Amino acid sequence: MARHPKRKAGKYGARQYQTKYDPNDGTMERALTEIRLGKKVKDIALKYKIPRSTLYDKIKDNHPKKVGRPTVLSHDEEKALASMVELTCEWQVPMDRTDLRYFVQDYLNKKGVKLFRNENLPSMDWTERFIRDFKLKLRSVDNVKPNRSGLSLEDVNKFFINLEKELDGVPPENIWNFDETNFTDDPGKKKVIVSKRRRRVERCMPHSKTSFSVMCCGNPKGEFMPPMIVYKSKCMWENWKKHGPRGASYTMSKNGWFEAQSFTKWFMDLALPRLKELTGKKVIIGDNLGCHYTADVLIECRRHNIAFIPLIPNTTHISQPLDVAVFSPVKKFWRQSLEAWRRETRIKDDLQKTCFPAILRSTFIRIERELGTALESGFRTCGIHPLDRTKIAKKIPSRVHVVDGFDLNIFNDSVLDFLENNRTCSVT
C-alpha cells in the first residue's frame, strides 16, 4: 500500500500552507487574465487571495514544471499507459497491479532505460500513485467463457437490423424480455470485523446446494409479469404454492429446470393473458433455447400478432436486460431475506419447497421500489429501448492503437502481442 505521511500541525518544520484558492477551479487563469489587461498585481492578489509571489512567478514563468515530485515516465507516456489499461479491458485481459508493474518493466527494458532500482520494476508506491492520479479503480472481474467472447460487429449489426424492423411502431409497453434464473440456498459471504492477526473467519450458517428456477418477464416501462417457479419434483403439492409472490404460477420438472413443457405452461398461463390485453403488435425477446420454440407457443404468437425475437447466441450477459440490470440486485436482496429467515426460524435443514415462496415474496417486497428503475436501465444499457446498437457494439473487443488521441505504439509491439496472446480467442 502506498505511504502518504502527513505532517502534524505545530511540529517544528511542518509548514502550514495558507492557500485560499483551488488551483483546479480556474481562479489562477482568471487572475492572470486580469493582470494582463492592466490591473495591479497587489489588487488581484487581495481579490482572489493568491500570494503575490505566486502571481509574479506565474507571470514570469519562473516555475514552468508541474508542481510536486517529477514523475518517472513522461506525462504522455503515463496517459498512454492509462489508455492501454482501458484497452486491455476491451481485449478481456484486464491488468491487476502486478501485471501493470511488469508491463512497465518490459517497456522500459526494451527501451533501454533504467528508472527503477529493483530490476527496473516499478514499486507498489508508484503503482498506487498512478492508479490514483488517473482516477482508475480496482474491481472484481467476471469470468467469461471463450464462446461468449467471440461476438463480432457483424453479428451485432444483423441482430439490430432485424430488431429495428420488428420494433418499428411498437410502443415500449408492448416490448417484453423474459429470462429464467436460479435462487440458491446460500446466504453468501459478507465482510465482518476481526483482528488483524486472524486469517480465516468462519460463520455458523446453514446452507445447501438446493436451488429453484424462476421465470421473470418485464418491459421498458418497468412493469413485470408475475413470476413462475419450477420445482424439482415428479408431482406438485398445494402447500408449495402458499404465501408466494402475487399472481405467481407453479410447476415442476424432473431436473428443476425450464423445459419445453414448463416454458409452454408459463407462456400460456402468464405471458399470453397479459399480452392479449395490449393493442397492436407485441414483441417478446429472450434467449434462443430450443425449448422455447414449441409448436403451441409459435401458433399462439402468430394468432395474436406476437413477434418472438431470439437474442444473439452466447451474449445474454450483455444483451439481456434482465441479466444485465435486474437479477444482480434481486439476488443481493434474496441473500438478505434468506439470512433473515434462517436467523428467525432457526431451521438448520435444507431450504424446503414449502418455505421458498414466502422468502421469494419478501425479497420482491424489499426491492419493489428499485426493480422498475433497474429494468428500464437494463433495456437502455442493452440498446433495445431506446434502440441503439452502439451500446452493444462498444463492448466488442477491438484492435486499436490510438485511444483518446494518444499513440499506443510508443509501447513495444511485442508487449501488445503478449497481451493479445493471453486471450483464448482472437481479437478482431
Give every strand in the sheet of 211-218, ordered side by side: 249-253, 228-232, 211-218, 175-184, 282-286, 306-310
Within 70-169, where are the H helices?
75-90, 97-111, 124-133, 153-167
Confidence of residue 426 (pLDDT cuts 50, 70, 90): very low
Task: Please give the backbone phi and psi of residue 184, each rounded to the nearest 5 degrees, phi first.
Answer: -100, 160
pLDDT at position 379:
96
Cell of residue 117, nine digits:
532500482
Task: Please give the backbone phi and psi of residue 146, each rounded to the nearest 5 degrees, phi first.
Answer: -55, -35
Please tell me the chain's helix, strand, coil percentages from 3-state DSSP, rounded to the nearest 5.
45, 10, 45
pLDDT at position 115:
84
Of the listed ranges 4-18, 117-131, 201-215, 378-392, the least confidently predicted one is 4-18
Among residues 175, 161, 156, the alpha carbon closest in space to that of 392 is found at 156
Per-residue pLDDT tens over the stretch 111-126: 888 888 888 899 999 9
pLDDT at position 56:
85
Per-residue pLDDT tens over the stretch 261-291: 999 999 999 999 999 999 999 999 998 887 8
The answer on pLDDT for 299 being more than 50 is: yes
* Cα→Cα distances 117→72, 102, 105, 120, 126, Å: 12, 14, 11, 6, 12
Burial of 229 (0-12, 13-18, 19+ CB in 10 A): buried
pLDDT at position 147:
66
Rounded to the nearest integer, the mean pLDDT of the chain is 84
Confidence of residue 406 (pLDDT cuts 50, 70, 90): very low
**Cross-strand bridge partners of residue 216:** 179
pLDDT above 90 as % of the chain:
43
pLDDT at position 168:
93
**Domains in the chain: boundaries:** 19-68, 75-134, 153-183+208-393
380-407 b/e (C-beta count within 10 Å ≥ 16 → b) = bbbbbbeeebebbeebbbeeeeebeebe
pLDDT at position 405:
47
**Count of other CB atoms within 10 angstroms of residue 92:** 20
The answer on pLDDT for 59 being more than 50 is: yes
Q: Was domain 19-68 assigned CATH 1.10.10?
A: yes
Q: 205: which residues sit within 8 A by CB, 6+ positions away?
A: 187, 339, 342
Per-residue pLDDT tens over the stretch 123-159: 999 999 999 989 999 988 877 776 666 677 888 899 9
Cell of residue 88, nine digits:
486491455
Per-residue pLDDT tens over the stretch 10-51: 544 455 545 555 666 778 888 888 988 888 888 888 888 888
The answer on pLDDT for 410 being more than 60 is: no
Pick the CATH number of 153-183+208-393 from 1.10.420.10, 3.20.20.70, 3.30.420.10, 3.40.50.11060: 3.30.420.10
pLDDT at position 74:
82
Q: 31: which residues sit within 8 A by CB, 6+ positions away?
A: 44, 47, 48, 50, 55
pLDDT at position 216:
95
pLDDT at position 69:
60
Confidence of residue 236 (pLDDT cuts 50, 70, 90): very high
pLDDT at position 397:
63
The answer on pLDDT for 96 being more than 70 is: yes
Per-residue pLDDT tens over the stretch 304-342: 999 999 998 888 888 999 999 999 999 999 999 999 999
The answer on pLDDT for 66 being more than 80 is: no
